[in-house]
Structure 1
Amino acid sequence: MTGISTAGPSTVIRCKAAVAWEPNKPLMIEEIEVAPPQANEVRIKIVASSLCRSDLYFLLEGKNGSNFPMVLGHEAAGIVESVGPGVTEFKQGDKVIPIFLPQCRECRFCKSPKTNLCADSVPIVHYEGMPEPVSRLTCKGKKLTQFMRTSTFSEYTVVKQNAVAKIEPAAPLDKVCLLGCGISTGYGAAVNTAKVEPGSTCAVFGLGAVGLAAVMGCKAAGAKRIIAVDTNPDKFDKAKEFGATNFVNPKDHDKPISQVLSDMTNGGVDYSLECIGNVGVMRSALESCVKGWGVSVIVGFTNEHDLSARPIQLISGRTWTGSAFGGFKSKDGVQQMVKAYMDKKIKVDEFITHNLTLNEVNDAIELLKQGKSIRTVMRISPE
C-alpha cells in the first residue's frame, strides 16, 4: 500500500483508504480494492484531500444506514492513473480535480446559462428504494459507497469524466484541492449567485471556509461594507484578512440579529449569505436584507428541517435563493478558479490551518468538530 500504482488500466488496485463503517464512529484505515475505470470513467491517484464540513455532516448525521460503509472526501486533487473506454479529455499523468457536481455539456441544464446543475447529478444521499449507486470501491467483500461520487479519502478513486476538471501542470495539488468545493462554493455564491454590486453592503453568516470565501467574493465584487456574523469572536481577525469590515456576535445582543443589522445599515443589507446550514439562521439572513431589493443566498447545507418565512418578507421585494457550488459550471469554474489562484487573484493558502496525513484523518475530524481548523489538508499519496 505505497500509494504508487504500477497497475495497468484493466487491473484492480489495492490501496489505503479511510472507511466509515457506520455513522458517528471513527474512520478506519483499511486496504481497499479499486476497480478499473469503465466507459467514460477516470481512475485518479489522489494526492491531497481536505476535510469539508459536508463530510462531517454525513458522518455525524448519517441516519440512513444504507449509505454505509462508505469512503468520504470530495475536496481533492490528484493525477490521472488510467482512463476507461470513450475518455478523450484526459490522459495518464494529467493533474485533475474531481468534482461532486458534473458538467456533461450536453443536457438542457448544462446548455442553459441559467443554472450550473447537470442532468447527470445524483442525490448526495442514497435512500432505500433508490437504484443502487455505482461504486468502484470495495473492502472485505463489501461495496463501499462513493460519497458524492468522489470518495477522496482514498489513495485511488474512480470518477466519471464529466465530473473531473483538468488543471494546469504547475498548480500545487495540496493547495488547489480546496477549489473542488468550499472556496469555489462561497466565493461563487457572492459573485455568481448574489451578484454582489460595487459599493453595496453585505452580511455573511458563518465564518468557516465557505463563509470566509463568501467574504472574499464580496470584496472581489466591490462591496463597500462586509459584516461578518459568527458566535466565535476568535474568527474576526481571519475574516478581516479576507475583507470583512465589521464583526457582529449575536451573543452580544439581546435583540434578533436581523434587527441589529437593520439598525447598523439603515434598514438592512443589500446582500446576505448564510454559510452555516441552519434553517433558523437562513431566516435571520433573509430578514436582515433591506426590503425592496435585498437578496439572501442560502449556501450552507442541511436536509433535516423545513424552511419558513412570512410571505410579506418576499412580497415586499426581497429575493431568497440558493446556491450549489457557487453557481459555477463545475468543470469550467474549477479551471477558472485555479487560474485565478495561479494569477494571485484569490487567496487559497490562507484557508489552510493544518496539514496532516490520511492516517491522521480522525484528528482532522476532531479539529473541525471543535472549531479549531478552517481547512485541514491531508496528504493522501506522493506525487
Structure 2
Amino acid sequence: MDAKAAVVWPGRRTWAVESVELDPPRQGEVLVRVEAAGLCHSDAHLASGGYAGLRRPMVGGHEGAGVVEAVGPGVTLVEEGDHVVFAFMPACGVCTDCAGGRQHLCELGAGVAEGFAIADGTARRRARGAELGSFCFVGSFATRTVVHERSVVRFEPSLPMESVCLLGCAGVTGWGAAVNTAAVRTGDTAVIVGVGGIGAMALLGARYAGAAQVWAVDPVPGKRAAAIELGADGTAASMAELLPELRDETRGRLADQVVLCMGSGDSSAMADAMALLGKQGRAVVVNVHGDTEHEVRMSLRDMQSYEKQLVGCLAGSWSPREGLRTLLDLYGRGRIPLDRLVTARYPLDRIQDGFADQAAGKNVRGVVLP
C-alpha cells in the first residue's frame, strides 16, 4: 500500500515528505494509521546528521499515537480498531535484561541502527527504489506505519491522540528520569534543565514524587513561564545564574537532583550541573550528545568528597509498557496536565516548520497531525 512519510536521506539535513510503499503486517505486526506524532529533539538530531551509526534513508518519528487498522498472524496484544500509543523501546520480556527488570534495555533494541522490522530484520518501507528504516522501529512521521505489537500499548478512545502521543517518549523518558533514574523523594530539591517536552514531564514527575522545591533552567523566557505554570518554584536562564539563588533558598544544601533535559547536550555545561548538587546529589543525563563528544571537564575532587553521582538515562529507566500504562492512568484521571504541553500543531507537509520552531524555542512540544 502507499503512505506518505517524512524521510531522512543520505547527505540531506532536511525532511523529505514523500510517498512510500508500505508492506502489510507480517507475523506479530500491526498496521497503524497515525493520528498524531510528537516532535522530539532526537528526531532533529537524526535529521541534522547525528546518530552516525544509523542507516539512511530512514522514516523519522518515534513518538506518536494512532488506530490499529490491521493485525498480522499471531498478534494477541491489540486488535483492529484499538487506539494505541507507540513505545519507542520494545520489550520482549524474556531476554536477560528484561528478566532482570531492565526492559528499557531489551535486546530487541540491538537492531535499532538499521531500523528494520524486529521480527525478521527486513524492511517494511521503500521509496525511490531504496529500502527505508524506521526510527526506533516506529517511523511515526507518516500517515501509516507497520510496527511490532511490542511497540504499541492500547489506551481508551476517550483520550485525545495529540496529547497521548507525547507519552511514548517525552512522557516515559521525562517522568521516568525524575522518578526512577534521579529517584526524587519527598522533601528533595530538584533542578530540571531544559523545558521542552521531556523537561516538562520531568518537572511534573518531580513534583508528583513529592519534591519540596523544583527549579527549572531554560534560556527561553516563554519556557521559563511555562515551567512556572506547570508548578516550578522558580526559574533561571542558566545553571550558573541559578547557583547563588539555589544556595540561598536551600541554606547551602543545594540540589538533590539535577536532570539534564536540554535539546542537545553540552559537555561544557557538566561542571555547572555538578556544582548545583549537594552531598550525594545525582545528575542525570537525559539529553542527546553529539557522536564526537568524548570529553567532560568538572571537579573530580568535588565529586569524590561529596559523593556526587553522574548517571545516564534511557527511556526513563522504565519498562515501556509499565511506564505507558502508569502515565495513561494518571492522565485519564486528570493527574497530569498533558494537554498544556502541546503548544503547536503542524500538518505532515510542514514538519520542517515544526522543527524550525522547536530550534527557535517557540514550543514546549509541537505535534504533527498527519
* TM-score, normalised with respect to structure 1: 0.87
Among candidates 8, 19, 27, match of residue 31 of structure 1: 19
Deviations 1:118-159 (A, max 9, x none): 1211365459xxxx9642111121111211111111111111
- Aligned CA distance change for structure 1 residues 170 and 229 (closer, same or farther; 3 Å): same
2:315 counterpart of 1:328: no
Secondary structure (helix, strand or coil) at the match of 2:192 reads strand
Map of 1:312 onto structure 2:
301
What value does the CA root-mean-square deviation take over the aligned residues?
2.3
Letter in 2 for 1:315: Q
Q: Distance in 2 between matches of 1:122 and 1:287?
A: 36
Distance in 2 between residues matched to 1:120 and 1:283, nearest whole Å: 35
Task: Select the residue among 321, 329, 342 that pairs with 1:339.
Answer: 329
Match of 2:62 in 1: 74
SS in 1 for 2:321: helix
Other-structure match for 2:259 = 273
Conservation of the 8 A alpha-carbon contact between 1:274 and 1:282: no
Task: Tell me, yes or no, if structure 1 residue 236 matches structure 2 residue 224.
Answer: yes
Q: Which residue type is aligned with residue 341 of structure 1?
A: Y
Distance 1:63 1:212, change over 3 A: closer
Does structure 2 retain, via aligned residues, the 8 Å contact 1:42–1:84?
yes
- Aligned CA distance change for structure 1 residues 296 and 140 (closer, same or farther; 3 Å): same
What CA distance in whole angstroms lies between the structure 1 residues aligned with 2:358 and 2:15? 15
Contact 2:93 2:103 in 1 (8 A): no
Give the whole-Å Cα distance in 2 for the aligned partners of 1:336 and 1:63: 30
Q: Deviations over 1:238-280 (max 9, x none)?
A: 0011111111223985xxx656644553042111101112223
Q: Write the deviation string for residues 69-116 of structure 1: whole angstroms up to 9, x where unpaired.
A: 221111100111222222211211111112210111112222223563
Greater mean alpha carbon deviation, residues 281-290 or residues 211-220: 281-290
- 8 A contact 1:74–1:148 mirrored in 2: yes
Counterpart of 2:346 in structure 1 is 356
Specify the code of the residue in structure 1 equivalent to 2:130. K
Task: Report the identity percentage.
Answer: 32
Gaps of 5+ in 1: 1-12
The answer to whether the 8 Å contact 1:231/1:251 transfers is no
Report the number of matched residues: 360
Amino acid at match of 1:347: P
Counterpart residue number, 1:201? 189
**Are 2:288 and 1:297 equivalent residues in the alignment?**
no
Pair 140,343 (structure 1): closer, same or farther in 2 beyond 3 Å: same
Is residue 2:362 matched to residue 1:372? yes
Q: Which amino acid aligns with 1:328?
A: W
Shift of 1:237: 1.2
Partner-residue secondary structure (3-state), 1:116? helix
Preserved contact between residue 54 and residue 112 of structure 2 (Cα < 8 Å): no
How does the TM-score come out when normalised to structure 2? Answer: 0.90
